[in-house]
Structure 1
């Protein structure tokens, strides 16, 4: 190996180490809770019945200071932790909390198992968390936060599901007043060019084992929320979709959409 090859190899090793260090050096956790109705409203028949009428967990995400998610584990480009547990092994580890996960962290889409969502979240986020070899603690940490009535989304938002849009800044201020910190609100627009819907509310927690202390989310709205001019920035939290015998969806908003 000549000097040029040695230098090139050394540069590659250094670059890999830098990426790995960045992947492990996240700043906080983001707990994302989603409103099932918003996910299912555009095509209710694609969602499992009954569609939950409470917020469910999307994920607990290691996040950089600039509000970007830590990218998924990759042994070449983001070796954030040494030898994390493979996703195919985690379901057996989660048996002690399976009932709680089924209730609070279900996969909402037909054709997918709840285990599929748990494995995807491990691949994308858990392997780069502070618990790369202990999915039971990682998922339990998320459940403890999501099950805490202090972070009940409707309670802290100060509203109930309705066909009346709410001012997003007012919702954010309600949360700040209730828990002391600003969350992040994520929006959806099921019908292009029409009303924004609340897709998720995300709480940010300082990095700890386990995470427990709230902080302000660096960005209190996602890009879609901000795509609407400030004076028109309202969001609807649609009432739950009810189903009778599978695909017979009863919800007046669907008829008027």
Structure 2
């Protein structure tokens, strides 16, 4: 066998090995992209969103949402603080898959961004976060979020502890204790500031098992801190 033939065979062998290694690496990354350790279930207080310094607030087409916490998202996360995103581009958001839930989503999972974005908000949540979950359908993913909102019932939980959305200031630790008394685990509370510089109750993070229904102790907490006392603004 000549030198040229031997060289060609060696090149082909290298290419085959490289192709196999690339295939394994690609498969490995695909498998990792759908693995996660827990969910952050994030609920937002609309009064703080609309009162935040430098932010405008627009109501959805269905009108002003009820005076209640709304869902921001159900987000897969890693224990190291990172998170997967956009895991399956072959399964993009399809509004027809959530038609049965749309009325409930408009009231409990709305966007207050300006200009109003309609389905684009839900599309963002599914494409970025839902495709990384273990839910096989979009309806299952959004239904899980709605179920968790019912299960945690944050506004009533806080009201039962004498913590009302009345523009008064409350201790953050009292808020956390009230929620722990209800759900069994401490939440993480995120704050923002209004135009007067007041620290406000903005979002509540609750940790959920990968099955999307069982509440758990948070393996890792988001960054940031609130003041010791924060305003619970009206809406």
TM-score range, shorter chain: 0.7 to 0.9
Matched, 1:117 2:112: no
The equivalent position to 1:54 in structure 2, one of 45, 68, 75, is 68
Alignment of 1:39-78 (within 5 A): 39-41=49-51, 42=53, 45-48=56-59, 50=64, 52-73=66-87
CA distance in 2, matches of 1:6, 1:166: 65
User: Number of matched residues?
Assistant: 218
Question: What is the DSSP-based 3-state SS (H/G/I as helix, E as strand, rest coil) of the residue aligned with 1:224?
Answer: coil
Matched, 1:19 2:25: no
* Greater C-alpha Rg: 2
Matched, 1:162 2:173: no
Which runs of 5 or more residues in structure 1 are unaligned?
Answer: 76-82, 241-257
Alignment of 1:1-257 (within 5 A): 1=11, 9-41=19-51, 42=53, 45-48=56-59, 50=64, 52-73=66-87, 83=90, 85-87=91-93, 90-132=94-136, 134-148=137-151, 151-157=152-158, 158=161, 159-191=163-195, 194-208=197-211, 211-220=212-221, 222-225=222-225, 232-240=227-235
CA distance in 2, matches of 1:175, 1:91: 33
CA distance in 2, matches of 1:5, 1:114: 49
What's the offset of the Cα at 1:51?
Answer: 5.4
RMSD: 2.6
Q: Partner residue of 1:249?
A: none
Question: What is the DSSP-based 3-state SS (H/G/I as helix, E as strand, rest coil) of the residue aligned with 2:189?
Answer: strand
Q: 1:45 to 1:205 in 2, by over 3 A?
A: closer
What's the offset of the Cα at 1:37?
Answer: 1.4
CA distance in 2, matches of 1:74, 1:86: 8
Q: 2:68–2:155: 8 Å Cα contact kept in structure 1?
A: no
Q: 1:138 to 1:196 in 2, by over 3 A?
A: same
Q: 1:219 to 1:191 in 2, by over 3 A?
A: farther
4+ aligned runs moved over 6 Å, structure 1: none
Give me the TM-score of the superposition, normalised by structure 1.
Answer: 0.73
What's the offset of the Cα at 1:44?
Answer: 6.8
CA distance in 2, matches of 1:91, 1:110: 21
CA distance in 2, matches of 1:234, 1:67: 26
Which runs of 5 or more residues in structure 2 are unaligned?
Answer: 1-10
Give me the TM-score of the superposition, normalised by structure 2.
Answer: 0.79
